[in-house]
Amino acid sequence: MTDPSYRGQLLVFTQPLVGNYGVPRRTRDAYGLLKHFESERIQCRGIVVGDYAAKYSHWNAVESLGAWCAREGVPAITGVDTRALVHILRGQGSTLGALGTQSAESADVEWADPNALNLVAQASTPRVRVFNEAGDVNIALVDCGVKNNIIRSLCELGARVTLVPWDHDLMGSAAQFDGIFVSNGPGAPTMCGATIAQLRRAFAAYRRPIFGICMGNQLMGLAAGLNAYKLRFGNRGHNQPAVDLTTRKCVITSQNHGYALDDSVMPPGWARYYVNANDGSNEGIRHLEKPFRSVQFHPEAKGGPLDTAYLFAEFVDSVRAAKAAGTAAVGADDEGASASAASASA
């Protein structure tokens, strides 16, 4: 519920009994991040549950699910046959919905399509923030709706994490970053024109590692020249199989996305990286020469699986290697071109 990727959506829980564990206390870790939540607030627009447990029982709980929703102004409904509802959603795909106390026929519903909104702009940080200031490499984390555990995972690997807004001028401050990480996020990737433009500039000029996950994969693909399309159902859950096309090994991954890249024809210099073993959809791309790659799944998923946690370590290791080698953030020719472009626009 606190994952920013769910922003603007109604969540339907298929687990019959919901709420029996309650809501944990807002404890923070060594980096100032909430330990048991993926962001500072509930991100979804509402929840639908089958059987709500009004009385909770857990050693770390401090309030009920209902009290938490009420305190944050998020509507919730119970007594719904959620499994029958999911059958409908599985039959017709992701569907606009509304919560109300009247019948659908008599209610005057003002439908709002979240895919028509720039949800990334809503979920992103409004200002630059720094975590783990003593880290030995400085990674720019482009916040498209980042989860706390992504920040935590990079910090635990020893990196200084500079969280920047979704439309931050990356190339204007490229020299201070040893690597760039593009996060997950909600909604349609095509709404993020500013991020795509920044990444396109980075692909042309930046010489250090770039890595993206989930929405980051889609934005990097769009910047590279691919198109994105909406999946009928989306790939969600903790058991999605993805095949690494460089090793042919299959990993079990955690996913939550409604869009995918069309990788039927790859742009020059780019290759498919991972593919979904169920539906054949794209699960990642990589550059054939430059240290740029991305995956559609979540290697850092708090609830697991941890099959691909090594990808974060590989990224941070590559950032350290580039720094140790003295790799310039921007090539000399690109610096000159950027300066000329800036003079022309001025």
Tell me which residues are annotated as active site.
214, 298, 300
Q: Which amino acid, residue 53?
A: A
Q: Going along the chain, which residue ranges are E strands? A: 10-12, 17-18, 23-24, 46-48, 51-52, 61-63, 76-77, 129-131, 137-142, 159-164, 179-182, 210-213, 227-244, 250-262, 270-276, 282-287, 292-295
- DSSP for 195-261 reads HHHHHHHHHHHB-S-EEEETHHHHHHHHHHT-EEEEEEEEEEEEEEEEEETTT--EEEEEEEEEEEE
Rounded CA separation 304/310 (Å): 13
Structural contact between residues 194 and 167, judged by C-beta atoms closer than 8 angstroms: yes
Structural contact between residues 14 and 51, judged by C-beta atoms closer than 8 angstroms: no
Quote the tokens at residue 216: 């980051």
